[in-house]
Amino acid sequence: MRDVDIAEAARLSGVRASTLRFYEEKGLIASHGRRGLRRLFDPAVLDRLALIALGRAAGFSLDEIATMFAPDGRPRIDRRMLAAKAEELDRTIRKLNAMRDGLRHAAACPAPSHMECPTFRRLLRAAASGAIGERKARRPPRKSLAATGREKGRAREP
């Protein structure tokens, strides 16, 4: 198969050209030349993009996905990392199932008030303890622009 330019790679993979450029910048894919102003890729980039999409769908970060490729570009997937991600997904599924079941019960609960329902009260206790959902760390209040010395309208730096 002939080389694939960036527009064709975007069309065939369903990944926007801007994302392809970002992936190249991150070292996830590599172009090997240009046709006019368009980057050219080996046709194997489509398989690589499919693996990246699969990794993203499974919840891996781009940095984690980058470790799944050997320096020559071939897949080198750490099976322990896959098993750990599967365990993480199992925990998430259990939490989501518990939340779904609690919501369904609350929607059909015959108690006069949700606060009188023992099942709903258990759900509240589980949520308060962090057993359901994730607790977010409280962030300190932001300083005003005047306190930070930033000019109005200036973009915030990371």
Mean pLDDT of 19-47: 91
Cβ contact 41:32 at 8 Å? yes
Q: Which domains does the chain have, with CATH numbers?
A: 4-66 (1.10.1660.10), 80-129 (no CATH)
Who contacts 24 (Cβ-Cβ below 8 Å, separation ≥6)? 30, 31, 39
Alpha carbons within 13 angstroms on the beta-carbon side of residue 124 total: 9
Check pLDDT > 70 for residue 121. yes
In the chain the first and final C-alpha atoms are separated, in Å, by 43
Who contacts 107 (Cβ-Cβ below 8 Å, separation ≥6)? none
Q: How far apart are CA 100 and CA 1, in angstroms?
A: 48
* pLDDT interval class at 133 (50, 70, 90): low
Mean pLDDT of 74-79: 91
Q: Give pLDDT, residue 6.
A: 94
Q: Give pLDDT, residue 4.
A: 92
* pLDDT interval class at 148 (50, 70, 90): very low
pLDDT in tens, 97-110: 988 988 898 899 99
Q: Give pLDDT, residue 78.
A: 92
Q: What is the mean pLDDT of the chain?
A: 83
Check pLDDT > 90 for residue 73. no
User: What does the buried/exposed string (b/e) look like for 115-136 if buried means 16 or more CB atoms within 10 Å of the residue's CB?
Assistant: eebeebeebeebeeeeebeeee
Q: Give pLDDT, residue 147.
A: 46
Both tokens assigned to 32: 């090997």
- Is-above-0.85 flag for pTM? no
Check pLDDT > 60 for residue 138. no
